[in-house]
Structure 1
Amino acid sequence: MHLVSHASRRLAAFASCLAIAGAVHAAAPMAKISAPGFYRIMVGDIEVTAISDGTVQLPVDKLLQEPAADTKRALAQSFLSTPVDTSVTAYVVNTGAKLVMIDAGAGKLFGPTLGKVAANLKAAGYQPEQVDEIYITHLHPDHVGGLAPGGTPAFPNAVVRADRRDTEFWLSQANLDKAPADNKPFFQGAMGSLQPYASAQRLRTFDGDNELVPGVRASSSYGHTPGHTTYVVESKGQKLLLVGDLIHVGAVQFAKPGVTIAFDTDQKAAAAARRATFTQAAKKGDMIGASHLPFPGLGHLRSAGQGFQWVPLNYAELP
C-alpha cells in the first residue's frame, strides 16, 4: 500500500510539472509585430531603401473599373480575396551627395494601419533631419500625409518638390469648393500637408521631365493625377523607375493593364501611362519600384501577351 501511495504521489507531481510547463508555454504572448519595414538595394553607386508605411485594406472589387466578378476571379488565382491588404511604400535615395525621399506615406490621413514611415526611416538608420529633398509622385493623401502629420514639417530641413500640374490642381481652393463631398478630403489633405513647407519657402515645383539632382530625374506619367510623376534613379548603367501609382493591384493590372481604378483622375491617360512605362521597362530590363505592390514593391517586368508578368526582386542582404 505504501509503495502504491508513493508512486501515486510521484505521478501527481510529474503531472503537475507538465501542467506548469504547458501553462508557461501557452502564456507566451503573440508578438504580432513584423520586423522593421525597410529593404535596401544598390542601383549602381546609389543606395535605395524601400520604407514601409504599413498596409491598408482596399475593396478593390469596388474600385477597379471592371466587373467585380472578374476582379475576384483574378484575385483568387493569386490566392487573394477582397479587401486586399495593400502596401504603401516610400523610397529613400542616397546619391552620396543628397538624401532624397520619394513620397512620404500617409501620416494620419488614411487610417490607423498606416503612418509608419518616420519610425521605419529611423529603423533604416536615417533621421528625418537628414532628408534634403522630398519628391512627390502625386498629391494623394497616402503619399503626402507623412509630410506634416501634426501641422509641423516632419522633415525640417527638406525641400518638397512636385510637378506644377499637381500642385495647381490639388492646392486650388476653387477646385476644393467644386469637388464632390467624398473628394474634398483629397484636396484638404494635400493643402494641410504642403502648406507648412510652402509657408517656409520650401515647396518648389517643376514642369514635366527634369533632372532634379544628379542621378535622379522626373519623368511625366500623367493620368492617375494631372501631374503624376515617375522618378528615375540611374547610375552606372543601372536604372530604377519609381512609378508611384501607375499600378495598384498586380493580380489584375499586370495581365490587363487597361483596367483602371476609381482613384484615377483621367482613366484613359492613366492606362496609357502604365502601358507606355511598363512596355519600355520590359523591353530594357529596367527595375520597377511601385508604391502599392507588396512591400518592398521592387522587381522587373516581362511582356506576356497583351500584358505583363511581374518578377519580384530576389531577396538579398547588402554586405
Structure 2
Amino acid sequence: MQGYEDRQVAGVLHRRVGDILVTALNDGHQDAPLSTMAGIAEAEAAALLHAAFRPVPRRTAVNGFLVRHGGRVALIDTGCGPIKPTTGRLAGNLASAGIAPGAVDTLLMTHLHPDHFGGLTGPDGAALYPTAQLRLHAAEHAYWHDDAAMGRADPARQAAFFGGARARLAAYADRTDLFTGGEVFPGVTALPLPGHTPGHTGFLIASGGKSLLIWGDIVHVPEVQVARPKATMAVDVDPAQAAETRRRIFDQVATDRQAIAGMHLHFPAFAHLARDGEGFRLVPDAWSLDLDGDI
C-alpha cells in the first residue's frame, strides 16, 4: 500500500453522547516559545514539559469538533487553515469523516483567534462553508470590531487577530447570528467562559443522560496549566479572568466527573479531570472501538 509511509492516517475519532455523534477532527499543531506563557517562570514550565516527556518549546495541538444530531451538522471551530506546514489538516479530516463543507449547516465558534477562525475561508477570502450559519457570542463579535481595542494592540496582532477576524466575519456577514448563552444547536448549550477573550465560549453537549463539555481554550498547554492553573497565555485578553475561569471550570468538571474535550488537548482530545491533592490531573480517555467511549 502506497501513500501513508510519511504521514499519519486521518485524524478523526468519534464519540457518542446519547443520540448525538461528536467527532474530533485534528488540524495539526503549533510550536511556540515558552515566552508566550505568563504567570509561570520559563524554567518551571520547561521542567513540567520535560517531566511529561513533551518537547520544549511547547507544542500545542489544534482541534475542531463535528456535531451530528437529527440530520443536522455543526462544526465547532475550523482550525488554523494552512498557515504553516504543521496545520491545515481539519478540512481533509472533515472529508475523511464523510462530510462535505456544504453539508455543514452551523458553525459554532468558541472565540475568534486565528487558530480557530483560519479555516473559515480560503486563500481568496471566500467562505469555505457555503450555506452554514455562523454563530458566536455577542461580546466576541463586539470586541474584534472595537477600533479602540484594536488600537491598543501591537501592529502584528492588529493585522493577524483583529484584521483576520474582521475579514472572516465579513465573509459570513449575511448569515451570522449572535448569542449570549442558551441552546445554539439541538442538544448544544453555549456556556460563556470569558477571560481568554471577552466572548470565549464552551459548548455543553447533552443527550440521553450523557454529556460532554467542549471547553475551548481553557488550557493551551495541558502539562503546564493543569498543574499550574494560574499560568496564562500572552494572547489572553484578560489574564486574571482567564485564570479564574479556568480554576472555576476545573472545580466544576472534577466535582461533576464531567467528560471534557478541548481545542488544545492532545488529539483525540477527549478526557476527564481528576483532583490530585490540592491540584488536578488530566486523564485522557483510552482509545476504544466503542463509540460510547468514556463519556
**Which amino acid in structure 2 is aligned with residue 83 of structure 1?**
P
Say how many residue pairs are matched.
288
Instruction: Tell me which protein shows more helix as a share of its residues.
Output: 1
Q: CA deviation at 1:96?
A: 2.1
> How far apart, in 2, do the equivalents of 1:30 and 1:159 lie?
35
Q: Counterpart of 2:248?
A: 276
After superposition, the Cα gap between the structure-2 partners of 1:137 and 1:29, relative to the gap in structure 1 and judged at 3 Å, is closer
Cα pair 2:36 2:233 within 8 Å, conserved: no
- Runs of 5+ unmatched residues, structure 1: 1-27
Question: Superposition pairs for residues 225-236 of structure 1, below 5 Å?
Answer: 225-236=197-208
Q: CA deviation at 1:317?
A: 2.1
Q: Counterpart of 1:292?
A: 264
**Which amino acid in structure 2 is aligned with residue 114 of structure 1?**
T
Q: CA deviation at 1:149?
A: 2.5
Cα pair 1:61 1:71 within 8 Å, conserved: no
Q: Aligned match of 1:310 in 282, 286, 289?
A: 282
**Which amino acid in structure 1 is aligned with residue 62 of structure 2?**
V
> How far apart, in 2, do the equivalents of 1:137 and 1:95 lie?
19
Cα pair 2:39 2:230 within 8 Å, conserved: no
TM-score, normalised with respect to structure 2: 0.93
Q: Aligned match of 1:85 in 39, 45, 59?
A: 59
Q: CA deviation at 1:30?
A: 8.6
Cα pair 1:160 1:204 within 8 Å, conserved: yes
| Residue 214 in structure 1 maps to residue 186 in structure 2 | yes
1:99-153: per-residue Cα shift (whole Å, max 9, x none)? 1111011114x43321121111001111111101011000001000100123111
Cα pair 2:201 2:216 within 8 Å, conserved: yes
> How far apart, in 2, do the equivalents of 1:37 and 1:239 lie?
23
Tell me, what secondary structure is at the counterpart of 1:54?
strand
Tell me, what secondary structure is at the counterpart of 2:47?
helix
Q: Counterpart of 2:154?
A: 180
After superposition, the Cα gap between the structure-2 partners of 1:43 and 1:171, relative to the gap in structure 1 and judged at 3 Å, is same
The Cα RMSD (Å) is: 1.7
After superposition, the Cα gap between the structure-2 partners of 1:54 and 1:283, relative to the gap in structure 1 and judged at 3 Å, is same
Cα pair 1:40 1:318 within 8 Å, conserved: no
> How far apart, in 1, do the equivalents of 2:78 and 2:255 lie?
30
Cα pair 1:51 1:121 within 8 Å, conserved: yes
Q: CA deviation at 1:170?
A: 1.0
> How far apart, in 1, do the equivalents of 2:87 and 2:134 lie?
21
After superposition, the Cα gap between the structure-2 partners of 1:156 and 1:29, relative to the gap in structure 1 and judged at 3 Å, is closer
Q: CA deviation at 1:155?
A: 0.6
| Residue 120 in structure 1 maps to residue 117 in structure 2 | no
Q: Which has the higher contact order (CA 8 A, sep 6+)?
A: 2
Tell me, what secondary structure is at the counterpart of 1:146?
helix
TM-score, normalised with respect to structure 1: 0.86
State, as a whole percentage, how many aligned pairs show the same letter. 37
Cα pair 1:64 1:71 within 8 Å, conserved: no
Q: Counterpart of 1:31?
A: 5
